[in-house]
Structure 1
């Protein structure tokens, strides 16, 4: 049983082009749409913003954010460590990628090919607890964000706690308080977590502002 849980944790954190990766993609599409769309809505995206999604998976959040970036200057960036998810999202948003409206990067969140202080809004869902180092990831996000930029993190804490109890994750970095402390340590301010409920599903939202 531990072996299968370890495989599940690896595929959810870094899906590969395999049966496990395909199943992970289907799980993301079935269970993450609400939190992805909620994260986009809570960012307060303006038509001309530059917006970044971390760990974009199959592209549900990217798709929702792209609809809001209606100004010519509006630009959407996506980052995912999984080459398979990078390919899946690229197909989903192929027309927007071809037009230059959307740029996708296959890379680590701790080493993004994005210019300093260039991003207005950042969002991610069910993502940070797969990062090897919360401070390194947080520092890199802070680097690319403009002063006063908002980052929105969405998770379902009950699901995360259950996964942690089954050893799906390694270590203790799944805990929201550790993530929030790491954000504060690298320069984010007004870091807070709120409960939200949509269609009878309760989830948690962590807000953080890039102070520079």
Structure 2
């Protein structure tokens, strides 16, 4: 029961002690993943970039530093009101300048126009989606042809969490997620092992084809 409750908080943090603990976990556990998801996305100054499940805004902060062109824009989506408000506070100055727009929204309902996003990144996110194929199609819808998506995770950590029944079903498995991407219009879907600061992690890449 406790594992299930913590799993829900990791996927959808709320205003509570466990939600606060989840936000601290994100900062400690996700920083390297967030920084590398941004780096591996090869963001250009005038890109439109989207982070899914942005949490407290660590990745948003990193990505915003690269979008220095006049047309550069950063979008973020999170369905936790708690995380949305934390990130909005962190990115307040960029939001006021119109460089960053954050949506408190479910992935499937995100109000982003079709074919408008150059790069998408997210970390420790897809295993909380109730329907991987629907989620992959929602991402594909907003991406430009040739757009790149990067997902980062620490597979060993994910396996440990899955062993405690904190995820539902088998959707945490990278191969299940990658299959959903391929069936939704992505190509060159691959997973690579990476290492930084003595931390081994995985990066999943996919290219949008239309």
Same fold (TM over 0.5): yes
For residues 17 and 75 of structure 1, the distance between their equivalents in structure 2, rounded to whole angstroms, comes to 29
Partner of 2:9: 11
CA displacement at 1:191 relative to structure 2: 0.1
Which 4+ residue blocks in structure 1 deviate beyond 6 angstroms? none
Q: Provide the alpha-carbon RMSD of the alignment.
A: 0.5
Q: Is 1:169 matched with 2:163?
A: no
CA displacement at 1:31 relative to structure 2: 1.2
Q: Is 1:130 matched with 2:128?
A: yes
CA displacement at 1:109 relative to structure 2: 0.9
For residues 23 and 122 of structure 2, the distance between their equivalents in structure 1, rounded to whole angstroms, comes to 16
For residues 112 and 205 of structure 2, the distance between their equivalents in structure 1, rounded to whole angstroms, comes to 22
**For residues 42-53 of structure 1, what are the structure 2 equivalents within 5 Å?**
42-53=40-51
CA displacement at 1:14 relative to structure 2: 0.2
Partner of 2:184: 186
For residues 18 and 97 of structure 2, the distance between their equivalents in structure 1, rounded to whole angstroms, comes to 32
For residues 111 and 141 of structure 1, the distance between their equivalents in structure 2, rounded to whole angstroms, comes to 11
Stretches of structure 2 that go unaligned for 5 or more consecutive residues are none
Partner of 1:63: 61
Question: What do the CA deviations read for 1:68-107 (whole angstroms, capped 9, x no partner)?
Answer: 0001100000000101100000001111111110000011
Question: What do the CA deviations read for 1:35-72 (whole angstroms, capped 9, x no partner)?
Answer: 10000000000000000000000000000000000011
Stretches of structure 1 that go unaligned for 5 or more consecutive residues are none
Partner of 2:87: 89
